[in-house]
Amino acid sequence: MGIALTEAQRALTTADVPIGAVVLGPDGEVLGLGRNEREAHGDPTAHAEVVAIREAAAKLGEWRLADCTLVVTLEPCTMCAGAIVLARIPRVVFGAWDEKAGAAGSVFDVLRERRLNHWVEVFPGVREEECAALLKEFFGGHRH
pLDDT digits (tens, 9 = 90+) for 18-54: 999 999 999 999 999 999 999 999 999 999 999 999 9
pLDDT at res. 143: 53
Does the domain at 1-136 match CATH 2.40.50.140? Answer given as: no
pLDDT digits (tens, 9 = 90+) for 75-119: 999 999 999 999 999 999 999 999 999 999 999 999 999 999 999
Catalytic residues: 49
pLDDT higher than 90, residue 141: no
pLDDT at res. 144: 44
Annotated binding site: 47, 77, 80
Annotated binding site for Zn(2+): 47, 77, 80
Domain ranges of the chain: 1-136
pLDDT digits (tens, 9 = 90+) for 4-19: 999 999 999 999 999 9
Q: Which of 136, 142, 84, 139 is nearest to 109 (CA)?
A: 84
The three-state (H, E, C) secondary structure of the chain, written as one string: CHHHHHHHHHHHHHCCCCCEEEEECCCCCEEEEEECCHHHHCCCCCCHHHHHHHHHHHHHCCCCCCCCEEEEEECCCHHHHHHHHHCCCCEEEEEECCCCCCCECCCCEHHHCCCCCCCCEEECCCCHHHHHHHHHHHHHHHCC
